[in-house]
Amino acid sequence: MFSPLSLDGQSLCLNELVQVARQQLPVHLSPDAKKSMQHSYQWVRDSANLDMPIYGVNTGFGSLARVRIHREQSALLSKNLIRSHAAGVGPIASRDICRATMLLRANALAKGVSGCRPLLVETLLQYLNVDFYPHIPMKGSCGSSGDLAPLAHLGLVLIGDPEGTAEFNGQILPADQALQLAGLSPIHLEAKDGLAITNGAQLSTAISALACHDAKELVLAAEIAAALSFEALLGVSRAIHPSVHRLRPYKGSLACARNLRALLEGSDYIDSVPEKVQDAYSLRCTPQVIGASRDTISFAAHQIHIELNAATDNPLILMDENTDNHAYSAGMFHGEPVGMAADCMKIAIAEIASLSERRLYRLTNGNLSQRLPPGLIGSDRPVLGMMVPQTTAAALVSENKALGWPASMDSIPTCEDQEDHIAMSTVAARRCTQVLHNAQRVIAIELMSAAHALNLRKESQPTKKLGAGTEQALLNVRQCLRACGPHATIGDQIEQLRTGICNRSIFAGLPTLTPVERHA
Amino acid sequence: MITIDGTNLSTAELLRIANGEKVQLSAVASQKMDKNHGSIPTDIDILSQKRRWMLGESANASEFSTQDFILAHCAGVGDLLSDQVVRAAMAARCNVLAQGHSGCRSVVAEALIHDLNANILAKVPSQGSVGAAGDLAPMAHIARTLCGLDGIERNRTPLTPEPKEALALINGVSMSTAIAALTIEKAWTIFEAFIWATAGSMEVILAQSQCIDPSVLAIRGFPEPAEIGAVLRQILVDSKRVQSNRRPDAFSIRSGPSVIGTALRSLRQTHHVIYEELNGCSDNPLCINGQWLEAGHFHGAAISTAMDQLRVSLAQLGSLSERRTFRLTHGQLSEALPSFLIEGTGLNSGFMLAQYTAAALSSEMKGLAHPASVDSIPTVQHHEDHVSMAPIAARLTSESTTCLADIVAIELLLMAQGLDLRQQQDRKLHPVALSKIHAAIRTDVPFWSDDHVLHPCISKIHNHIQCQTFSWPIPRLFPNQ
């Protein structure tokens, strides 16, 4: 299928991360990266002869950097870090989030500035390639210095500590037993290994990266749903005319309008109400609203892309600098860029759903739907039509608002006031994902309702042509719902369409759509 | 065995039913229901009428069954509710119907009770309700199983509901109320553990006792700080460390009675609202004197607001505990205890990350405190144009209690370590009450003389909190209730 990924610390892109996390793309460490890892590792070993403090090698951690540690105790220092820092609580990261986290930590180490052995990266890649799944609790991290606790839980597994947990071949076991089952060896830690494993916001980035990928897909699904609604509600096409959008040239709104035009091309239903000069905002302003969301998701994608290939460790071992002390202490682990991007992305995703729900309201409101039956009642759904799913969508949109507090805005001092500004990037990323999942369901409901509405239109006006894309989208929705069993509830059908968004089956056979780009 | 009669179901009883205790309907309630049912107007097609109001007079009439009506509401999505919550929702609904104003036969209540006692439970998605008109979708999923519409063969005859009965099963905020009731019970358990953590931290930090002096608290103006002070004095009655002649503490200690007293009032207020909703008639229409009366009793504003208020109070408690934890781990603020409560600091990091976890959870609680009840989105052709979002408020508060339990578990963990370190320093005995708590913690979590793995320590104490190891008989009602 795809050729294996060569991990070099510099060129990982979002699509590759998704392929590794969700589609088992094999990964190996690039030989050049291995060399630079060896180089900085050798310096850390040799630094035993230098009489100077190197953070986390011969000093304590956090505010305890004031305490000098004998070099002979460096390995124990690393082990103590992993064990005492495994302070996570709450639900376990899903398999794809765990895999993305491991890949990202490996990629950061592959940059060769962490002063650790290639063995650490090779072990993480082995876990990925044999589908070995460490259990990482997702709550408890402040996102600075990085995702210490979650990565420490990964560390427990790496060292085969029985307090760690991992899953292999369907069995969930203490880490030592799980490693044995998988035929893997535990790692014996050396100087600086503890920091190398834990020091970076990789869990926050993994969650945000997967959410970003899914958000880009959601935008396209939302545009398909919007096109179906536009057609069902006999929309006025001047609102998506290219000459109009060139005059307020947000990249996102240009792209959205372009996609709507492509999907609706050739439709007889559009512009079929001559006395209607303009639609309500939830139709007419779709390019502006989804466009703003597109641009915000693009910004987030840009930030996340940088983080994918970033050095997040502390200290960093910069062998190219002309100095005896190659250890540079900085704040590369601070998750603020990721957290802020996740919070912004969350708003963008919530707005997509909010707009969609308003179109649903119009579809089901007999006073607003251009003479569709109230509630979209018809032979398919004779009792209440699509009335109740609109309430479902309203509940989801409201919940998104309640989750809207931007987590990255909060900070609580930690570590005897040494770590006195923190990112809360993990919380930001998790909330973004929650909002995304709610939004996927809202779009699924709009797909279902708008398809239903178009079918009612077709019944009463069978000779009219549908749009080039919407006709296919209708078929895709129908095909997707065929998988529902005879006792499926409306809720089950909504979930089935959500699955169709996630596995892309609702995109099948559509005209080419402009995706959400990463801003250059 | 708990008897449901519609009048005085407590949250404690609802919790017992949720955890599996058997239920029966009172004879009085049964008669009341059947008498009410006998009086309903026979010339009104309730469901068609409701459908006409929802869809408008222009809607084509349609032949549909009561079963179709139930299925048309099964639009719930998302993660499933736990069996515990589903049981509580069934019992809460039963208690509403038992009040005898819903025009239902007693067999409807008996059907819910049968399925409770046989543990026949629906799979109920947690999302999709806006808390007005009631929790339609989740209650419809429950009704679907009750009435044998889920395609699963079972060893009992399912209920065949009359039209009003199908509506009465779903048209109230019973799911939100159930979650609220289970949540307030959890919150009380955690609050009691919080009291222990408060006393323990005061002991470890060598607090000044003036802030819990009865003469001082008597003039605060609110009765609750005095109550809290009295409890803390009881726990610390034989303390050799908490004395009057110390310098005043930081606010996280000194303002304890004010903050915790405020939370106590909030818990009681919330508890009272939930009790009233549990025993109120959240249904529509109601059959009174042989007539259908239409009102808006299905609106969950009371539960929604109460849950939001509780969540704010819980966030304040989380924040207070976390700041005490910060002081305990801070070498310069802990009255000469070692940094992060560990000897060999440096090689060992001790409880450094325990405070990070508490901080992260405290921050989560802040974010979750955003009030769900202030939002409303119009639905059903603008007929249902103001809604409560009660289920969202209730679920967020439930999640918040889990965060708080971990925060308090962390403080108790540090308290136990701090007591040992303090005793090594000053050779004094702990107060008897605290030493029992300390011993309970030590059965599962050892003293750290060097670094251990933190995660299992936190989760073991979290379990102790859930099992009510740290309890204190704080009255849950206002004094004059």
The per-residue pLDDT for range A212-260, each reduced to its tens digit, is: 999 999 999 999 999 999 999 999 999 999 999 999 999 999 999 999 9
Span A4-30, mean pLDDT? 97
| Contact (CB<8Å) A137/B359 | no
pLDDT of residue A376 exceeding 60: yes
Look at residues B195, B193, B194, B185 and name the one whose alpha carbon lies nearest to residue B227: B195
- Mean pLDDT over the full length of chain A: 96
Type of residue found at A99: R
C-alpha distances out from residue A144 to A338, A422, B343, B452, Å: 11, 5, 25, 22
Residues of A in contact with B402 (CB under 8 A): 90
pLDDT (tens digit per residue) in A199-221: 999 999 999 999 999 999 999 99
| Contact (CB<8Å) B68/A426 | no
Position B480 scores a pLDDT of 74
C-alpha distances out from residue B479 to B224, B306, B475, Å: 11, 20, 8
Q: Does B308 lie at the interface with A, CB-CB under 8 angstroms?
A: no
Name the burial class of residue B244, with classes exposed (0-12), middle (13-18) and buried (19+) by CB atoms within 10 angstroms of its CB. exposed
Position A519 scores a pLDDT of 72
d(CA B149, CA B161): 12
Is residue B127 helix, strand or coil?
strand
Containing B405, the helix (H) or strand (E) segment is helix B390-426
pLDDT (tens digit per residue) in A111-123: 999 999 999 999 9
Name the burial class of residue A66, with classes exposed (0-12), middle (13-18) and buried (19+) by CB atoms within 10 angstroms of its CB. middle
| Contact (CB<8Å) A375/B355 | no
pLDDT of residue A93 exceeding 90: yes
Residue of A94, A399, A442 to mutate for B, most B C-beta atoms under 10 A: A399
pLDDT of residue B93 exceeding 60: yes
| Contact (CB<8Å) B348/A84 | yes
Look at residues B458, B436, B435, B434 and name the one whose alpha carbon lies nearest to residue B445: B458
| Contact (CB<8Å) A490/B345 | no
Q: Does B364 lie at the interface with A, CB-CB under 8 angstroms?
A: yes
| Contact (CB<8Å) A361/B64 | no
- Look at strands B125-127 and B23-25 and give their pairing: unpaired
Answer yes or no: are the C-beta atoms of A387 and B54 closer than 8 Å: yes
d(CA A417, CA B339): 12
Confidence tier at B61 by pLDDT (50, 70, 90): confident
pLDDT of residue A1 exceeding 70: no
- Mean pLDDT over the full length of chain B: 96
pLDDT (tens digit per residue) in B400-415: 999 999 999 999 999 9
Residues sharing a CB contact under 8 Å with residue B3, sequence separation 6 or more, in sequence order: B23, B24, B25, B26
CA B167 and chain centroid, separation = 27
Find, in chain B, the residue whose alpha carbon is nearest to that of A381. B72
| Contact (CB<8Å) B356/A149 | yes
Q: At residue A5, what are phi and psi to the nearest 5 degrees?
A: -85, 130
Which tokens in the block code for residue A422? Answer: 């923190």
d(CA A258, CA A242): 7
Span A289-300, mean pLDDT? 98
Number of cross-chain residue pairs from A and B with Cβ atoms under 8 Å apart: 292
Look at residues B241, B256, B255 and name the one whose alpha carbon lies nearest to residue B421: B241
For the annotated catalytic residues of A, the residue numbers are 55
Name the burial class of residue B313, with classes exposed (0-12), middle (13-18) and buried (19+) by CB atoms within 10 angstroms of its CB. buried
Type of residue found at B409: A
Residues sharing a CB contact under 8 Å with residue A139, sequence separation 6 or more, in sequence order: A88, A89, A90, A91, A426, B357, B360, B361, B364, B403, B406
pLDDT (tens digit per residue) in B321-356: 999 999 999 999 999 999 999 999 999 999 999 999
Residues within 8 A of A (CB atoms), B 171-230 only: none
Q: How far is B63 from chain A (nearest CA, A)?
A: 8
Residues of B in contact with A375 (CB under 8 A): 54-55, 59, 381
Residues of A in contact with B406 (CB under 8 A): 89-90, 139-140
Q: How far is B453 from chain A (nearest CA, A)?
A: 5
Find, in chain B, the residue whose alpha carbon is nearest to that of A74. B347
Residues sharing a CB contact under 8 Å with residue A369, sequence separation 6 or more, in sequence order: A232, A233, A362, A363, A376, A453
DSSP codes, A434-481:
HHHHHHHHHHHHHHHHHHHHHHHHHHH-TTSPPPHHHHHHHHHHHHHH
Residue of A357, A403, A416, A432 to mutate for B, most B C-beta atoms under 10 A: A416
| Contact (CB<8Å) B60/A422 | no
Find, in chain A, the residue whose alpha carbon is nearest to that of B376. A398
d(CA A193, CA B334): 31
pLDDT (tens digit per residue) in A319-362: 999 999 999 999 999 999 999 999 999 999 999 999 999 999 99
**DSSP classification of residue A139:** E
pLDDT (tens digit per residue) in A404-446: 999 999 999 999 999 999 999 999 999 999 999 999 999 999 9
pLDDT of residue B475 exceeding 70: yes
d(CA A231, CA A221): 15
Q: How far is A127 from chain B (nearest CA, A)?
A: 23
pLDDT (tens digit per residue) in B26-45: 999 999 999 999 999 999 99
Is residue A115 helix, strand or coil?
coil
Position A141 scores a pLDDT of 96
Position B366 scores a pLDDT of 98
Residues of A in contact with B132 (CB under 8 A): none
Look at residues A516, A447, A436, A453 and name the one whose alpha carbon lies nearest to residue A476: A447
Type of residue found at B196: W
| Contact (CB<8Å) B74/A489 | yes
Is residue B39 helix, strand or coil?
coil
Confidence tier at B60 by pLDDT (50, 70, 90): confident
Residues in chain A, total: 520
d(CA A192, CA A57): 5
As for the ipTM of the complex, it is: 0.96
Confidence tier at A520 by pLDDT (50, 70, 90): low
Q: How far is B29 from chain A (nearest CA, A)?
A: 32
d(CA A480, CA A493): 9
d(CA A492, CA A271): 35
Q: Which of A137, A374, A401 sits opposite B55 (nearest CB)?
A: A374
C-alpha distances out from residue A43 to A69, A325, A370, A475, Å: 18, 9, 74, 62
Q: Which of A62, A396, A397 sits opposite B352 (nearest CB)?
A: A62
Determine how many CB atoms are found less than 10 A away from the CB of residue B331. 15
Residues sharing a CB contact under 8 Å with residue B415, sequence separation 6 or more, in sequence order: B197, B200, B201, B203, B204, B328, B438
d(CA A147, CA A106): 14
Find, in chain A, the residue whose alpha carbon is nearest to that of B384. A391
Confidence tier at B233 by pLDDT (50, 70, 90): very high
| Contact (CB<8Å) A83/B452 | yes
Position B175 scores a pLDDT of 98
Answer yes or no: are the C-beta atoms of A412 and B359 closer than 8 Å: yes
d(CA B365, CA B382): 34
